[in-house]
Amino acid sequence: MPKDRPAALAIAKSEVVFHGKIWDITRETFDYNGEPLVREFVSHPGAVAVIAMNESAEVLLINQYRHPVREFLWEIPAGLLDVPGESKLEAAKRELLEETGYVAEGWSELIEFHTTPGGNNETISVFLAKDLRHQGHDLELEGEETDMELAWVSLAEAVNSVLASRMRSPSAAVGLMALALKHGIQPSA
């Protein structure tokens, strides 16, 4: 079975060439097979995403504006690992509550992936949340989160949307496909 493996290459130089609000652009020089290589990449804190699934095998999706692609995307709740000392699971719980008002009793890590390993170091951990209860919140949401739409969709319908390229959020696509495979859900023809 193929398995990714870590590599500890010698870094000759590392510098932040752009410092952003959420992530930076880093330029590193490293030795690869006796040759110095220079690569620039987005240095990202990492993120979590949550597939909230109810007892009817429906998943909770959010519709949120994403400026770089100029689209409102159907996604799963997600957010940055930007609170010092917070575990991935605690971040997932926080994001689910902030973006949907739901809390969950049952939690498991579903899958972890690199979003764009040729251009950034972001890793996203996708969690499955079950035994849901709507608690609501009085948080002051900002920016693109102020008008998010929520929808319960059957897992099969969500998977079909991914396969038809109607849902293109990578967290949703990877997470929903992993969940469907683990649950034996077959997309419709």
Per the listing, tokens 């997470």 go with 175
Q: What is the mean pLDDT of the segment spanning 25-54? A: 96
pLDDT tens sequence across 91-140: 999 999 999 999 999 999 999 999 999 999 999 999 999 999 999 877 67
**Which residues, including other chains, have CB under 8 Å from residue 168's CB and lie 6 or more apart?**
73
**pLDDT grade, residue 147 (50/70/90)?**
confident
Distance CA 26, CA 19 (A): 9
**Residue 185 per-residue DSSP state:** P
Distance CA 170, CA 79 (A): 13
90 phi and psi angles, rounded to 5 deg: -65, -40
Distance CA 71, CA 77 (A): 17
Question: Residue 109: what residue type?
Answer: E
Per the listing, tokens 């939690």 go with 107
Q: Which residues belong to the active site? A: 145
Three-class DSSP category at 107: strand
70 sits in the region (left: phi over 0; alpha: psi -120 to 50; else beta) called left
Task: Tell me the whole-structure pTM to 2 decimals.
Answer: 0.91
Q: What is the mean pLDDT of the segment spanning 166-175? A: 97
Domain ranges of the chain: 11-43, 47-183
Nearest Cα neighbor of 111 from 94, 93, 123, 97 is 123
Report pLDDT for 189: 54
Q: What is the CA radius of gyration of the chain?
A: 18
User: CA–CA distance from 171 to each of 26, 33, 125 (Å)?
Assistant: 24, 34, 9
Alpha helices, DSSP H, located in the chain: 88-100, 155-163, 170-183
The CATH number of the structural domain formed by 47-183 is: 3.90.79.10
